[in-house]
Chains A and B, each alone.
Chain A
Amino acid sequence: MRLRTQLALAFACLAIVPLALVLPWALSNLRRTLTQGFDARVASAMIAARSVLEQVSKASTVGAEELADSPVLEDFAREVHAGHATPSTTTLGERLMKSRGLSVLSLLDSQGVTLSSGHLPARLGDRDPALFATTEQPSGREPLPVMVEVRGDAGPLQLPALVAARAVDYGETRIWVVAGILLDDRLADQLSRLTGAEVTIAGAGSALAHAGAADAPNTEKTIDFQPIARLTFAFSRAPQVSAEGGILRAFVLITGLGLLLAIVAGWVVARHLTRPLEALTTATRQLAAGSLGVSVREESSGEVGDLVASFNRMSAELKSVTERLISSERTAAWQEVARRLAHEIKNPLTPIQMSLETLAAARIAGSPEFDRLFNEGVKAMLEEVERLRRIVDEFSRFARLPKPRLAPVDPAELVRQVLALHPARPAGVRLKTEISNGMTVQADRDLLTQVLMNLLKNADEAIGGEGEIAVRVRRHSDGVAVEIQDSGPGVPAEHRARVFEPYFTTKADGSGLGLAIASRICQEHGGRLELDATAGGGALFRLVLPAPPEP
């Protein structure tokens, strides 16, 4: 993984880890706080609801007492006592009920027959056992829950109510005032608006009144008015759940944004930090590939800046040194070539000089051997001149080595062709070939032929007419390899480093330029000529040529 990526991920982790550690704790705390707040709100709402119901209860009691003490009821009682009943009593209850803010009012006689009813005037003249039963309770007790018959859309229906009963006496006539408040939709609506809950008033197994709405999930609280009714308050937890969800989403969003920012920031910082290093890496590769004088132009500071500066200095020095070295080597090489050439030229010149001096001396001396000496001397001089001419020709050939004209060449076919051209070998020479087909190299066919011919001649000379020569053509990690291995004595270790130098030879009559020319030809092809020792002691020359680039 690249340093830039590592740095960016490290930045991201640095940003994420704290958030990831904080989030569960924060959520847990939030949930606890919201729950506490919700519970407190529910408790407060239930207190308010109970307060309302206490007010309802008190209103029933106060209403009954106030009516019982009012002149209107006294007049009514008087009329009942006198046996007068007028249609106005039909509406009396309704008027009294509305004026006192009650929703239940019945005036009953001592038998429980309705003398007037505010909540259901049509029941005038009928007995009302349910309401009459409340008159049996001692006065002063809390209002009682009781099912009351009220007007409905399709006839009377039963609703729960809190009622209180008080007696009005006129002589022997007793009239009961039963007053109260219905636990109906209106009360449910009042409680719902007060508490913010969904309020259901249920009795006899069915919902009798309902108000509000509470989205699930919700928490329920109840207030019982046994055995008549139950008030259920459903408080929605949806806002709390929504808040938790919202905050969680916010956290996730913040974390995501933070992660993204951290990655981006990390990437930017990492890029800023690693760019000089990458430039250094690139420059180092270029330098290793041979681009002398490459420098890194990235601005940086600190240790990286020092490194960049050091690299640039090193590269400049390396270039300078390399140039000097190349120049020195070139000078040294030319000096060596000149020395070798002088040495080679000097060798034939000495016998020529000696022959001439001998002839000169014989002539002066008038030696009778002059003619014989002259013929021997001329013969020797001609041989030395021939030798000089050969040295000059080979040098000239080495100096004027042509540029290879590259073309696709099948190395397997070339090797077979060269083997076919090679003169017939003595019977003691075994030729072993391992040639792989299907390869192609870009090469100058003639120059490669020259190299292979030279290597095969050397191998023949090394085994001296008895032994084995192996020729292999195979794929190599650097391209294609052609190997020529002999079973001769091999090249001594101290000479292996010099066999490819011009004019280095271990043969008595060698020019010392054959392997140098072969090596030079391989270098011109972008390859190389190697010498390896073998386990059997012979020499292994390996010609490595680069494979052509993929199309």
Chain B
Amino acid sequence: MKGPKQVGPFWAIAAFVHFLCVHPADAAERGNYGGTLRIAFTGPEAQAEPSLADAPADAALFQTSFQGLCRLQSADKLQPVLATEMEQTGARTWRISLVEGARIRSAGGLTARHVAQSWARLSQQGTLSPYRALLYPLRGEGRQLEGAILSSSMIELSTAFAWPDLPASLCHPALAIAVPIAGGGAVGLGPFTATSRGDVLEENLSFPLGRPYLDRLKIVFANGRRALRLLSLAQVDLVLGEAEKTNLIRSPLELYATYLAFKAERTGADFRGDFEGAVDRAQLTQFFAPTASVPMFNLLPPALMPQSATTATRASAASKRRAAPPLTLLYDQALPEQRLVAERIQVRLHDLGYRIVLKPVSRSELRKRWALGQFDLMLHAVLMPPLPAPALALAIELAGKHELLASELPRIGAEAEAAVRELKVRERALALAAQLPLIPLYAQSAVLSASPRWYLPFDGQGLPRFDDAYAVGE
């Protein structure tokens, strides 16, 4: 693998800690091939859109069938998956060679056009995604990738400004290759392949990295309590998305960041100060946010920058707000914890005179309303890349300030040293925090409960890697 520069010690420590958090079995031990891993999944039905499958449990399951050009094996180590090579051919140019002969079920061989079309969806009307910020450094903001195709298996990407973190950005799960098919849905290429039985994923023998250890994954869709009950009854081997204290397995990377986006012209100029005075993030994560969540005070989660708690401010007069029209708080109906968080925000702000109506919507609807700016308040969660610079780009995009990327990213990308770049990012994150209509709430990692007989590693994105999972014996 060529190209990416070395990352700082932080990432090395993170990688070490990461390996400690995998199954108690010896990580170096390789288990037997074969077997069926029965997974109880607490999320909604499987997504077909990579940019929507970004909640940790969703992303973990999505990756089994949809992979991108690369993945982060650890925070500082890129592993090509559908690309064989990502070569930096110039100061701002990378040439990417795709795996030869890789076939996508129902879509033929993998081509550069598939890659271009897949990434272009992030910037298209109707599928506009905050993850387009990951492609912003590319010329044309990643909207004109057809011109970057050199051949059916080769793409040459050029950035508009220096952006050393581009290769790592391309490994984000939201940039997984998904080819739309007739009748709706999409197909991709991953270590497992969907079968005619919707709940079974079979091993993909032609996966570029080799077949997985497991023969198949059997998915059971269940709510949290039922999933845990199935685990206790040994009817499933793993619960993805829910965990009890006794057998909690979590990634150390809390990269799934939840924010409260707001429209200042609707909420009023005092909203941020009122919120900070009313809502205690520690309490939020202790009682209302999901397991394995940590308070987030700054634009980037604690995994990417040290946190500085904001001071509570004095609330403005409640009387004039009572006469104002109520505000609508949109949240993801597929995430049960967001209902609790939304209610907590509602009641705390109610004490200050805000009238807030809660409205659960689907994730795609949430993204649509975000893209159109049609909301008063919104709980919006994204899976941050494990690198500060792309994460800041994503946060700025999430705040709806796309125009700021043009001024912020070049300044950051101009710093060649990763550590310096990281400091720059923190400085800008602190400076931009008050400008952006985005209030950070908490960050969470992937959580799961598993039977002891299974080994399951995590990748550099903090997501479990099922293609490397195996049974460790009786």
Contacts and interface: CB of A to CB of B under 8 A. Distances in A.
A153 B326 CA distance: 10
* Best-surrounded residue of B289, B291, B344, B349 (most CB of chain A within 10 A): B344
A156 B340 contact: no
Nearest to B326: A154
Contacts of A123: 347
Contact of B347 (A86, A89, A122): A122
B283 interface: yes
Interface string B345-357: 0111110001111
B229 to A, nearest CB: 14
Nearest to B290: A87
B288 interface: yes
A212 to B, nearest CB: 28
B320 interface: no
B409 to A, nearest CB: 37
Given A87-B290, A155-B355, A122 B346 contact: yes
B335 to A, nearest CB: 13
A326 interface: no
B308 to A, nearest CB: 23
Contacts of A156: 346-347, 350
B354 A155 contact: yes
Contacts of B349: 155
A125 B287 contact: yes
Contacts of B348: 122
A151 B337 CA distance: 17
A123 B347 CA distance: 7
A87 B347 contact: no
A121 interface: yes
A121 B289 contact: no
Interface in A191-248: none
Contacts of A149: 347
A90 B349 CA distance: 19
A102 B350 CA distance: 25
A149 B280 CA distance: 20
Interface string A123-158: 111100000000000000000000001010111100
A85 interface: yes
Contacts of B283: 124-125
B24 to A, nearest CB: 23
Given A121-B343, A122-B340, A155-B346, A90 B355 contact: no
A153 B350 contact: no
A120 B287 contact: no
B287 A90 contact: yes
B348 to A, nearest CB: 8
Contacts of A155: 326, 346-347, 349-350, 354-357
Contacts of A86: 245, 291
B214 to A, nearest CB: 31
Contact of A122 (B326, B343, B354): B343
A96 B344 CA distance: 20
Contact of A87 (B280, B287, B326, B357): B287
A424 B69 CA distance: 164
A121 B349 CA distance: 15
Contacts of B106: none
Contacts of B356: 154-155
A121 B288 CA distance: 9
A155 B340 CA distance: 13
Interface in A153-173: 153-156
A90 B340 contact: yes
Contact of A124 (B245, B288, B326, B350): B288
A155 B283 CA distance: 19
A116 B195 CA distance: 44
Contact of A85 (B287, B289, B357): B287
B289 A87 contact: yes
B357 A89 contact: no
A2 B226 CA distance: 99
Contacts of A153: 357
A90 B288 contact: yes
Contact of A154 (B280, B291, B343, B355): B355
B421 to A, nearest CB: 36
Nearest to B293: A87
B441 to A, nearest CB: 14
A125 B280 CA distance: 10
Nearest to B286: A85
A285 B284 CA distance: 118
Nearest to B284: A125
A509 to B, nearest CB: 137
Contact of B357 (A122, A124, A125, A154): A154
B339 to A, nearest CB: 9
Contacts of A120: 343, 347
Contacts of B343: 120-122, 151
A194 B190 CA distance: 62
A88 to B, nearest CB: 9
A118 B347 CA distance: 14
Contact of B288 (A122, A126, A151): A122
B287 A124 contact: yes
A151 B101 CA distance: 57
Contacts of A126: 347
Interface string A69-101: 000000000000000011101100000000000
A120 B340 CA distance: 10
A121 B357 contact: no
Contacts of A124: 283, 287-288, 344
B274 to A, nearest CB: 14
Given A154-B326, A154-B355, A155-B354, A87 B346 contact: no
A198 B290 CA distance: 44
A89 B344 CA distance: 14
Interface string A483-512: 000000000000000000000000000000
A90 B284 CA distance: 11
Interface string B337-375: 100100110111110001111000000000000000000
Contacts of A122: 288, 340, 343-344, 346-348
Interface in B201-223: none
B446 to A, nearest CB: 16
A85 B283 CA distance: 10
A89 B245 CA distance: 13
B291 A87 contact: yes
A403 B288 CA distance: 136
B287 A89 contact: yes
B115 to A, nearest CB: 40
A90 B289 CA distance: 10
Nearest to A86: B245
B319 to A, nearest CB: 16
Nearest to A85: B286
Interface in B171-204: none
Contacts of B290: 87
Nearest to B280: A125
Nearest to B350: A155
Given A90-B340, A126-B347, 5 more contacts: A86-B245, A121-B340, A154-B357, A155-B347, A155-B354
19 contacts: A85-B286, A85-B287, A121-B343, A122-B340, A122-B343, A122-B346, A122-B347, A123-B347, A124-B344, A125-B283, A125-B287, A149-B347, A153-B357, A154-B355, A154-B357, A155-B326, A155-B347, A155-B350, A155-B354
Nearest 10 CB-CB pairings of A with B: A122-B343, A155-B350, A122-B344, A122-B347, A154-B355, A154-B326, A124-B287, A154-B357, A125-B283, A90-B287
Interface of A: 85-87, 89-90, 120-126, 149, 151, 153-156
